[in-house]
Structure 1
Amino acid sequence: MSTTLGAPRPDQASYMLRAAAAEAGRAYKAQLIEWLDLAPGHTVLDAGCGPGTDLPALAERVGDEGGVIGVDRDPQMLERARERTAGLRAVELREGDVHALPVASGAVDRAKTDRVLMHVADPAGALAELHRVTRPGAVVALAEPDWDTLVVDSEDLDTSRAFTHYTTGHAVRNATIGRSLARLAAAAGFHIKYVTATTPVFRDLPDADHTLGLGRNLQQAITQGHIDEARGHRWFEGLSEGPFYASFTLVTVTGVRGPLTAGGRPART
């Protein structure tokens, strides 16, 4: 695969599946599912399940006596998820938004979101919905990047920094959600158990371009006047010269659902 400045955004389902299959994706996803502490008979929610990347692994752990609910607002994502989970009796797919989950209150034992909150209009509201649909004592596992930590090695450090600044300020809606994840989850009524940070490292430029959108986002930054065109082109071309390095921080948070107060609000943790 080659890199192209301004290449169109790849098919979202294929993008998500490829990112999950990469070494860094496999490692943090395995930890995320492990921290859910799933057992046969559990009902688990994957909020923003996308093309169903994690649904088979969740179904395997809860067994036929358990249940897996995958929710996504994109019908095309759900169609891909149906293809991946065909024959898995435990899996049920529902179309809906994370701000108003199509799940009954207190219906699930476990819940997860994975790189979803960075895109939504109201992350705190989405976490409140997770609190609503989970039972007291339920475990939630959340994973989000902090794009302010994105680094791309280049002799032109100023343009690398400008690219990160554009990513954080313009390309991603909630670009620093990773660092805020534990605080927001606690405010929603979850007792925080674990917080870890991993650093996916990219040493292959085409892979980094696919996952991080280097050429695509750079062209947007140039078009919008955030980065000078000639300098941006030199920076992008220079990335292919010599060893390549890029990385960012991914934050994973696990919490336990606390009870509601008498007034119906989450108890403070």
Structure 2
Amino acid sequence: MSSKHYNIDYLEETGRFLKTLKEYSYNPFTNISEGTVIDLGCGTGMDVSNLGKLLGDKVTIVGIDHDETMLNKGRSSYSDQANVQFLQSEASTIPFETETIAGLRAERLIQHLKEPENTMLEMRRVLKRGHPLAIIETDWASLTFYNEYLPIEKKIISFLTDKKINNGIAAKKLTAYMDSAGFKDIKIEIFPFIIRTLKEANEYLWIERMIDEAETEGFINQQEKEIFINAMHEADTKNYFVCSINVVIVSSIK
């Protein structure tokens, strides 16, 4: 069983799905005309490239990730952009001097960290005073399937938030993390996403894979798994499948 809730294909598929939200998340950085902006936990670098095009040649966009395979994908995909760079590092030790960064963005990173408070302090350390931080997170606790099997749904969500994802309720904690780290002008936006086919639910949420893992880990039994998966397939066949999940953007200033 994979310990990660993502791979290169997953990040690229969800990146396309979240295009509008991603573009909205760039707004805190549009007034930056020079210096360095970090995309922390950049994955394959889609947002590094987008920010590089948006902010122009006088701003360097640095994508940081711990996964060299992801970074190599970014380096090969965006080698024609002179103002983007990729560095390998853990999020808790950002390789820049104190108060040297003009802006910092992190998308779907905090949910994977076992000690997110340390990373928040590190983000604050490298940011210049008066400069922006924006964090995007999936609210896994908000996942909802519109069928009658609510008790099974609750167990599946418990698997995701309590076992599968290191910090599965990170989205609900973001404002508190920022406040504790000393950030100011904290704002939160909530973006609900509606998924209307099982195919998309499997692409964007890996839902049947996650249900299989929930059974393997003992959060649901085999009968519950079969009931829930059959209900999803029946709803999909009859064209009334729907599930929803929230994504939040929390922004602030150092």
Same fold (TM > 0.5): yes
Q: 1:182–1:192: 8 Å Cα contact kept in structure 2? A: no
Q: For residues 125-183 of structure 1, give each alpha carbon's deviation from its aligned partner in whole angstroms, at most 9, with x where no partner exists.
A: 11111111110111011111221111112222221222112211111111111111011
Q: Deviation per CA, 1:12-62, whole angstroms, max 9, x where unpaired?
A: 11110110101xx01211111113234332421001110001011111133
After the TM superposition, which residues 113-132 of structure 1 pair with which residues of structure 2 at under 5 Å, given as runs?
113-132=106-125
What TM-score, normalized to structure 1? Answer: 0.88
Please list every run of at least 4 consecutive aligned residues from structure 1 whose deviation after the TM superposition is greater than 6 angstroms.
6-11
**Counterpart Cα distance in 2 of 1:205 and 1:174:** 26
Partner Cα distance (2:112, 2:160) in 1: 13
Is residue 70 of structure 2 the alignment partner of residue 77 of structure 1?
A: yes
One-letter amino acid of the counterpart of residue 183, structure 2: F
Cα distance in 2 between the residues matched to 1:46 and 1:9: 20
Contact 1:153–1:160 (8 Å) recurs in 2: no
Question: Which secondary structure does the structure 1 equivalent of 2:79 belong to?
Answer: coil
Q: Is the 8 A contact 1:38 1:61 kept in 2?
A: no
Match of 2:14 in 1: 19
The reply on whether 1:87 has 2:80 as its aligned counterpart is: yes
2:85 and 2:93 mapped to 1: Cα distance? Answer: 17
Which of 234, 241, 246 pairs up with 2:243?
Answer: 246
Say if 1:7 and 1:171 are closer, same or farther in 2 by CA, change over 3 A: closer
- The answer as to whether partners of 1:7 and 1:215 remain within 8 angstroms in 2 is no
Query: Could you list the runs of 5+ residues in structure 1 that have no partner in the other structure?
Result: 1-5, 258-269
- Which residue of structure 1 aligns with residue 177 of structure 2? 184
1:99 CA displacement: 0.4
Identity %: 22
CA positional deviation for 1:122: 1.1
Specify the alignment match of 1:146 in structure 2.
139
The Cα of 1:8 is off from its aligned counterpart by 11
Query: 1:50 & 1:26 partners in 2: Cα distance?
Result: 15
- 1:136 counterpart residue number: 129
Corresponding pairs, count:
250
> Please, which moves more after superposition, 80-89 or 69-78?
80-89
Q: Name the counterpart of 1:166.
A: 159
More helix per residue: 2
Letter of the 2:78 partner, please give it: T
**1:267 is matched with which residue?**
none
Counterpart CA distance in 2 for 1:37 and 1:75 is: 29
